[in-house]
Every structure is written in structure tokens, then in C-alpha cells.
Chain A
């Protein structure tokens, strides 16, 4: 992970900052230059809601090398209250049954590290709300 690359992602990964198309109202995270729905190039900055629900999920038992220490971990597609969807892990799922439609809240967590001395990547994960 390069330092500038990590830095470029801070806005959305750390703070859930996104953009809303002024043409059709659809939201995007990370920000885009063109709206694929209506073609508009005009966006306003918004902050995403932290509440959402599980659209679909999987418990991962074989991870990439840099995440193998966490297996099994839950990965899900989350739909936030404003309709935006994202992919992330669900934390603290031990002995809990996951279900489609379950409510979650986004939290700030360490995502991965680049060896013992490299950049630590942070970002959002989801936590079961009930």
C-alpha cells in the first residue's frame, strides 16, 4: 500500500464522505466525475448515514494472505439508509447468526497492514445493530 494511495482514500474510508448527483439524486462513494445514471457532471458533497442493513453476506474461511489471520470473517454488501451500497466486513459476529435484512451500523476500524513496518490501512466496517 503506497502512502499517497492510502491518503487519497481517507475522505471516504475514514469519514464516509460521498457525493450526490444534482441531476438525478443518486449517491456515489467514492466520488465520481460522471453520473452513470443521468450523465450529469455536477455533484454535491454529502455525509453518508451510518445506519444500514445486510443485502447479502458470506463467512470467508480462506482469505488473501494479508487477512488470513482473521479467518473466518464475515463479508457483506450493506445498503445504507439513503440507498447507497458498499462491501465491507461485519465485526464481532462470533456465535451470532447473520441474516439478510439485518440492521447494521458503520464503525471505524483497522482494515489491513502492510507488514510490520508499512502503512496501516483504516476504513469502515459494519457492526450488528441489534
Chain B
């Protein structure tokens, strides 16, 4: 198995981008990533998208993006694992390069969510359609039920949930590509429109258009390109039951824990070795539970971790320096790659106003549905 490095990253602005189609979004992110790396020739493409069929009536996304990126006849494949499609696309590209089948691979993710009237319905297809969605359980409702159980079992508070949103909006205010780059307060989160109790609209990630791409190659070739290469040192994925109610413990995201354990093991790292992480804060409670599963807080103490400022930009383990899904936006298929782009920029020292002090090791965690799939990657400065 060959060592692999990220040599280029790029993304569109995230938001309601009325002037962009799905292909426009992907092409812009792809060209930025290729230019960032200084490469023109690629061996293959992996593209993550959750539900282009339901969002814009378009499937066959691999061929579509290969065509419009202008890479005639190049192998290209769409990867789907709900909101973790981007993270899984990254892993498929990684496996292809590590295995020696390709040298330079473009990995990306895209979602065009604002062309449809009912994004909530399309998103609910990531849950168990027959046994959850049919009975009225929306995605916010599923995470609200996780929140309620976590509050009941561990004493997690409403203010701790809100603190995740406040922190991520603070970070997003320093990210020019963020959809909602404005600061908010705990009170504003609690008083905003109720979606699924106890979660309000400011506990939920938004509906977003956007794309992100990365270019990867064997580490031994990576020195030839424009930018400082960032080595991929760990990858891990896991699945869990598709329905939340089938899990033994509603307050635990087992797939997240297992995907992290597998990535830590491959990387030879512990939670304490990680300098910053981009995690899947689709809802505020998700970030709290994920920080526990990643080992940054003891089980049940994730709320305290954020409340005490330990995950802030200047904290001991900054989480979601980009603004996370909450503030930066969550074009579902693009999210996993956008996380990689943020970690790469931070490790290169290119994160501008939100740059943290000299990080060496970063982690990304991206999940699908109510945590039925999760993918974790660990990156290190060479």
C-alpha cells in the first residue's frame, strides 16, 4: 500500500446559489482544486452526492462531471452514503491511489439542494423510509430524540446545545465561503423558530448549494507540485442500523466511534494527538455526541466540552474551525470533502483569520443519516 497525500483543494462559496447548476458547482470546485495543486492530467474521479436524483432529477453524476470538467473518457464514479457521500468518495479515491491503480485522482462532492421545493423529504430518504420517515420522523426529529435522551441520561443542557451553534457561527464569521457568516447568541438560538423540540432552526444545519474537491496522489510524487503536501495517515469507516430505534443506546453513535477507532489505529494516533477536527454537526447535538465518540470528551461530557470553550478556535481542541455544517452550510454530498479542504488549509497555514497556531495533525468525521454510516480521516503535515 502506498502513502497518499492531498496536493490540492478547492470549493465554491456555500449558500443559496441560484445562478449555479449542479454541474456548474462541481466544475468550479474541481478547477480550483486542480489549479491549487498545479495539475492538469488526472487518472480518475470520485464524486459524492447524496440525492441528485431527488434534488435535481439527475443521476449518472460520474459521467456528467467528467464530461464538464473536460476530462474526456476518464474513469469517473459517483459514491453515495447519504450525508457522508463526500467522505466516502474521498476514501474510494484514497484506496485507488494507495492500491496503485491510479496516481492522480480528483475526489469531490456536490449537492444542489435549492432547486427542489421539499428538501426535507429528499433528506428523509437517508433514514429508514419504511419505518421512520413514513411515521413522521423527520431528520430534525431523529436528532431531537437523540438530544432528549442525552439530556435525560447525562444532564446535557439546552444552553450546551446552543453553545455549539454560537461557536460554529463565530468560526463561520471568519470564513468568507460560509453561508451564514454572522455571529449569534445563546438566547437567539433558543428563541428562534422551533423545528423539533428541543431543536430550533438555529440548532439545525441549513439547506445549501455547494461543491468541494481535492486532488490526491502518492506521497512520493507529491513534492513535485505547487503546494506543501498533506499526508493522509488514517482512514476508517463503519455502519450502524439504518433506523435509530434499533440501536441499543440512543445516546451513542457507534459507527462514529468505530470509524474513529479504525482511523486512529491505522494512523497510530490517540485523540490527544489531534490538533483540530472538522466534525459532522448537522445538528448541535450531533457535534456533542461526536466529540464524545472521537474521544475528545468522556461519554456524557460533550456538552461541557463546548460550554467550557475547549472546542473554540483558541481552545485545546478546536472543532469546526470552518464554521461547520451549521454556519458554513451543508450541501450534503459536498460536506465530507469541504471538511478535508478546511483541514488541509489549516495544516498548510492558509486558513486566514481563523488559522489556529501551527497545527500538525487534523481529523475529519462525516456521517450519514442518524449515524448509520460514518467515515473518519486523519491528516498530518509531512
On whether the beta carbons of A9 and B130 are closer than 8 Å, the reply is yes
Closest chain A residue to B153 by CB distance? A100
Question: Within 8 Å of chain B (Cβ to Cβ): is A102?
Answer: no
Of B132, B196, B245, B250, which contacts A61 at CB under 8 A?
B196
Residues of B within 8 A of A (CB): 117-118, 120-121, 124, 128, 130-138, 140-141, 144-146, 148-149, 152, 193-199, 241, 243-246, 250
Question: Which residues on the B side are within 8 Å of A75 (C-beta)?
Answer: 135-138, 141, 145, 196
Q: Which of A56, A64, A86, A87 contacts B124 (CB 8 A)?
A: A64
- Of the A-B pairs whose beta carbons lie under 8 Å apart in the complex, a sample of 21, sorted by A's number, is A55-B250, A56-B149, A56-B152, A56-B250, A58-B144, A59-B194, A60-B144, A60-B195, A61-B193, A61-B196, A62-B138, A64-B121, A64-B124, A64-B133, A65-B117, A65-B118, A75-B196, A85-B246, A100-B148, A100-B149, A112-B136
Query: How far is B197's CA from A77's CA once the two chains are assembled, in angstroms?
Result: 14
Q: Which residue of A lies closest to B133 (CB)?
A: A64
Q: Is the interface of A mostly helix, strand, loop or mixed?
A: strand
Q: Report whether B149 and A55 are in contact in the complex, using a CB–CB cutoff of 8 Å.
A: yes
Q: How many A-B residue pairs have CB under 8 A?
A: 103
Q: A21-37: contact bitstring with B at CB < 8 Å (1 yes, 0 no)? A: 00000000010000010
Which among B134, B197, B241, B245 is the interface contact of A59 at CB below 8 angstroms? B197
Interface flag for A43 (CB, 8 Å): no
Which of chain A's residues have a CB closer than 8 A to the CB of B250?
A: 55-56, 77
New A-B contacts (5) at CB < 8 Å, excluding given A58-B197, A61-B193, A76-B145: A30-B131, A58-B145, A59-B196, A77-B250, A100-B152
Contact B130 A60 (CB under 8 A): no
Residues in B whose Cβ lies below 8 Å from that of A60: 136, 138, 140-141, 144, 195-196
A123 to B128, CA, bound (A): 16
Q: How far is the CA of A38 from the CA of B268 in the complex (A)?
A: 32
Residue numbers in B under 8 Å from A30 (CB-CB)? 130-131
Most buried by B among A60, A86, A112: A60
| CB nearest to A73 among chain B residues | B136
**Residues on A facing B (Cβ under 8 Å):** 9, 30, 36, 55-65, 67, 70, 72-73, 75-77, 85-89, 100, 111-112, 121, 123, 125
Q: Which residues of B contact A85 (CB under 8 A)?
A: 245-246
Q: Which of A36, A61, A65, A88 contacts B135 (CB 8 A)?
A: A88
Which residues does chain B contribute within 8 Å of A76, judged by CB atoms?
A: 145
When the two chains form the complex, which single residue of B131, B138, B246 contacts A63, counting CB atoms closer than 8 Å? B138
A77–B140 alpha-carbon span in the complex (Å): 14
Task: State the CA gap A87–B124 with chains docked (Å).
Answer: 14
Question: How near does chain B come to A77, taking the closest CB pair, in angstroms?
Answer: 4
Please measure, in the bound complex, the distance between the C-alpha atom of A85 and the C-alpha atom of B128, giving whole angstroms: 14
Is B135 within 8 A of A87, CB to CB? yes
Say whether B145 contacts A111, CB under 8 Å: no
Least Cβ–Cβ distance between A83 and chain B, in angstroms: 11
How far, in angstroms, from A26 to B119 measured CA to CA in the complex? 36
With a cutoff of 8 Å between Cβ atoms, the chain A residues found around residue B138 in the complex are 60, 62-64, 75
For the complex of A and B, list the 9 residue pairs with the smallest distance between their C-beta atoms, beginning with the closest: A58-B144, A56-B149, A85-B245, A56-B145, A59-B197, A61-B194, A77-B245, A58-B196, A88-B135
Closest to B198 in A: A58
